[in-house]
Structure 1
Amino acid sequence: MSFARICYFRALCNVERNSLIFRRFNSRKTVNLQDPAVQKYLGYLMVEHENLLVKMRDAEQSRRLVEIKPVVSALEQRIFLYDSIDSLKELSKKEGDDEMKKMVKEEAEIYLKRLKEIDQELQNVLLAPFLTQGGVLLEVTAGAGGQEAMLFAKELFEMYEHYSNYKEWEVTIASLEKSDIGGIRKASMLIEGFGVPELMRVEAGVHRVQRIPATEKSGRIHTSTVTVAVLTQPTDVEINIPDKDLSIETKRASGAGGQHVNTTDSAVRITHIPSGTVVECQEGRSQIKNKEIAMQKLRTLLLEKQHEELASKINSERRSQVGRGNRNEKIRTYNYPQDRVTEHREGGGTQHSLKTFMEGGEQLEKLQENLIREQRFQDFMENIKDFNAKTTPEKDGKAEVV
């Protein structure tokens, strides 16, 4: 069986999980299914689906096929119902007794009711996210605000750890650089599970906190920032690292000392010789486990560099996510005096009970889903615009707008 087919059948296993997500999504925004431009694009999706069934060659095509499958299934049911209603219209025009006309009317009402249900299902599958199995490297770094920023970085890092447990994802702490008073200067974790790549991607950016720091004597409210970067972990197929390209060193883990100090050479430092990329891991007591975590982190960073090189910009993705960490670059504000979390991106809004939000549960989950749904709507409308611009015949040297 080809690799593309294997990816296809793996992706099919996620369809049922995605269908549960679809049923949760009831967007306030809707797609006008009667718009000729929308109908033209939906027709194209059906053709694309047929073509992919015939000539599926790689993993990306497999993923695309599974992604549009629910849309095409809903469209096929929609077409069948319209055809059935048209047949009933023709039947009602013919002469017949009252009993036959009554039966036609009752059947038409059933079809129309089902058509309304299918249209709602179609709205849901068009705007709901297509979640996949995968992993990310999540980095949390204290920004503007000194020690207070470091304290909030720790709280944010713990929130993502709790959220991962809530979602039953696998979490591995990759690095942890603590501050003098118990905060975090910089830390990273590897997260793996269903929906991780899509849901955690929306967390990338500058998070702003407004509160009275524990170190503040006069009771003034301070504003600090923490930056979050989310980098997609590669698969075995996406990146291969020959052993000859690696320099692996072991050393004794550094720590606070006392009875918990690690007295074995369990800390691992790996250098990727061609690129000069260096990663370390000393969080575990097992050298084998630390090496495994360090290799995962290295593979993720090397894949990130590949993406950056394609874009001809070093560190472009990370910078586009976190900016410079300034207070005015925020994507989300955590305001403790007003007990609220405000998401500044479209589709976010404001939530209260900040303490509950920071526990990393249902509130964060719903916020992420709303943001993804909004992005799906924007992407869908942009796809329709681009598709119709490309396929509309030109008149007098200008593209005709549908």
Structure 2
Amino acid sequence: MHSSQSYSISNFLNKIVGKQYCTNSFISFESPAVQKYLSNLTHEYKTLQDDVYEDSKKMRLQEIQPVINLLEERNTLQDNLKTLKELINSDDTKDENFRSTVEAEQQTYLDRIKYLENTLFTVLIPPESEDECRGVMMEVSAGVGGQEAMLFARELFDMYCNYIAYKQWHMEIAQQDLSELGGLRHASILISGDESYHYLKYEAGVHRVQRVPTTEKSGRVHTSTVSVAVLAQPEEIDIVLHDKDLKVETKRASGAGGQHVNKTESAVRITHIPTGISVESQVDRSQIKNREIAMRTLKARIYHRQLEDQISKTQATRKNRLVGSSMRSEKIRTYNFNQDRITDHRLGNNFYNMENFLIGNEILDKLIHQLHDKRSKERLMQLLESVQS
């Protein structure tokens, strides 16, 4: 398992400099909760400076150091700002050019202080342990709605493939089950790249589509659902699978593919006996390659099972589950084609221009950033509330 303690504040600061995902106008830097938390952190820093013989204390000191540096710079700017205000209010500043110069410098200090405060808020939020994962397994599955759900599942699948290319990550299709009309019953994608889980985790949930299917003669709007699961893909060291715990089966691949599909046993199915989890891969002509893909998929699902067990022990609320039961009421986003509107129910915001949204480029990226922003604010509030309690 990944540990959040191994992901230091200094590393996190390096990642967010210049990005400023989180806008923190929702809470004042001068609020008692913020000041109390920073005061406790400063006290801890001074205490550690007096006793850094243990490696764990040295590591903690290194984690706190970036926050202290930001605080010290802010305090210095505050002192400089106070001096400038005294100059402006003194009798010796009647020269308009001098006064204009001082006011311009004052604004520069104010802008820098605001930047430092936003950066501090962002750095204070502890990184979620899975965000450091560079590998992701994404699953797209048709839910309620029959063929229409499968057709929209294919559109979402294509959107995510485009988004992966847009973010310049590497993608490998692990499983793809197409319907007779070109829709998608189920597909799995293995993705690798910096911050891939950090971004894609917000897409997990039930997506609802409302539109008139091409096969509908009366013009009636249908409602269908598609489930999306996003699982952190573990490194080799995280999940160890023993041969005695695996049941490996081979068979002929099914579906389109010509004579080769029917004549060679290239499809691989692996069952993990202790957990009962089974995976299958038949996307490649090579049995060896399909076995490799199936093993990576199996590890991701076992890792996810372990993660869910952890979460259920500490957070039993249903909203923390990655995937619902695919019923119409359990939705994170609605795609209304008649009104050309995409509604993300977590944000309460509407996005328009369905065609551009489903391309999977800038508009989707903007929505994901807003979701990250909201999540960061919620976690910061939880952090401050824990200080007050």
Q: Output the TM-score relative to the length of structure 1.
A: 0.78
Q: How many residue pairs were aligned?
A: 372
Distance 1:137 1:317 in 2: 22
In structure 1, the partner of 2:18 is 20
Describe the SS at the equivalent of 2:304.
helix
Distance 1:366 1:222 in 2: 28
> Are 1:33 and 2:29 counterparts?
yes
In structure 2, the partner of 1:398 is none
Percent identity of equivalent pairs = 42
Superposed CA deviations along residues 243-288 of structure 1, whole A, max 9, x for unmatched, are 3332333333222353563643322222223222211111122223
Structural RMSD (CA):
4.0
CA contact (8 A) 2:133 2:233 kept: no
Cα distance change on mapping 1:385 and 1:288 into 2, 3 Å: same
In structure 1, the partner of 2:384 is 384
Matches within 5 A, 1:127-276: 127=122, 132-258=132-258, 261=261, 263-276=263-276
* Deviation (angstroms), 1:211: 0.8
Matching residue's letter, 1:175: Q
* Deviation (angstroms), 1:230: 1.3
CA contact (8 A) 2:22 2:373 kept: no
In structure 1, the partner of 2:334 is 333
In structure 2, the partner of 1:392 is none
Structure 2 stretches of 5 or more lacking a match? none
Matching residue's letter, 2:201: R
In structure 1, the partner of 2:77 is 81
Matching residue's letter, 1:345: R
CA contact (8 A) 1:127 1:377 kept: no
In structure 1, the partner of 2:108 is 113
Superposed CA deviations along residues 215-255 of structure 1, whole A, max 9, x for unmatched, are 11111111111111111112233222233332333333222
Distance 2:138 2:386 in 1: 33
In structure 1, the partner of 2:278 is 278
In structure 2, the partner of 1:393 is none
Cα distance change on mapping 1:105 and 1:258 into 2, 3 Å: closer
* Deviation (angstroms), 1:36: 1.8
Distance 1:325 1:318 in 2: 14
In structure 1, the partner of 2:118 is 123
* Deviation (angstroms), 1:135: 1.9
Matching residue's letter, 1:30: F
Superposed CA deviations along residues 35-92 of structure 1, whole A, max 9, x for unmatched, are 121111133345567889966669xx89x976x7765442231123235557x59x98
Matches within 5 A, 1:54-93: 71-84=67-80, 88=83
* Deviation (angstroms), 1:317: 8.2
Matching residue's letter, 1:190: L
In structure 2, the partner of 1:357 is 357
CA contact (8 A) 1:308 1:317 kept: no
- Higher mean alpha-carbon deviation, 264-273 vs 349-358, is at 264-273
Structure 1 stretches of 5 or more lacking a match? 390-402
Distance 1:51 1:188 in 2: 50
CA contact (8 A) 1:255 1:262 kept: no
* Deviation (angstroms), 1:151: 0.6
Distance 2:207 2:258 in 1: 35
CA contact (8 A) 1:27 1:124 kept: no
Cα distance change on mapping 1:84 and 1:331 into 2, 3 Å: same
Describe the SS at the equivalent of 1:322.
coil
Distance 1:37 1:125 in 2: 14
Q: Output the TM-score relative to the length of structure 2.
A: 0.81
Distance 2:388 2:206 in 1: 36
